Amino acid sequence: MRGDQVTDKTLCLAMLNELKWTATCLTNKILECADPQLRQDYIHVLNRTFTEQKSVFDFAHQQGWYKPTMAEQTQINKLQQAMPTMIQEQQQSMASIHQQAQHQAIQTTGYAMNNMNQGMVNYQDYMTPAYYTNNQTNYGGIYQQNYGR
């Protein structure tokens, strides 16, 4: 057999790596998707990808072509002990971010209301940062669309 020949093993491992990469890309798309229906479609495809990856993994493992490194029990125990602390830190971090966002939203709403009363800004002019273009102005991290001003 020549070294450049495709074997069942190389094909199976290539498929396994491709499915892992696909799952990573789909996860990123889901995390950054603003459209709810498109997000659900990506989630559906990701779940199918997980199922396919598991089938290929099981086959490769059964054939002896893919042998993941098993964690030692001491590593598993250490991680399990650290998990509650990690979850608590993540919850505290998210709570802090949520509070900052609420504070910023209150300030931005106050700014918009003041300008609406003066007839300068329409509330619909405000857009989320994900949709800004060249004709926008940044007000405290929130982008306002400039319509011919």
Q: Look at residue 112 in the predicted model and tell me its pLDDT.
A: 54
Identify the pLDDT of residue 109: 61
Strand-pair partners of 139 = 142
pLDDT at 140: 44
Q: With the C-alpha atoms ordered 127, 132, 106, 90, is the resulting torsion angle positive or negative?
A: positive
Average pLDDT over residues 127-141: 42
What separation in angstroms does the CA of 124 have from each of 22, 89, 114, 121, 127?
38, 37, 14, 9, 8
- Element spanning 23, H or E: helix 8-32
More confident: 62 or 137 = 62
Q: Indicate the pTM of the whole model.
A: 0.53
Please check whether residue 62 is in contact with residue 56, taking contact to mean a CB–CB distance below 8 angstroms. no
Q: What is the pLDDT of residues 24-67, one digit of tens each?
A: 999 999 999 999 999 999 999 999 999 999 999 999 999 999 99
DSSP structure string for 84-142: HHHHHHHHHHHHHHHHHHHHHHHHHHHHHHHHHHTTS--GGGEE-GGG--TTEEEETTE
pLDDT of 143 reads: 42
Confidence of residue 1 (pLDDT cuts 50, 70, 90): low
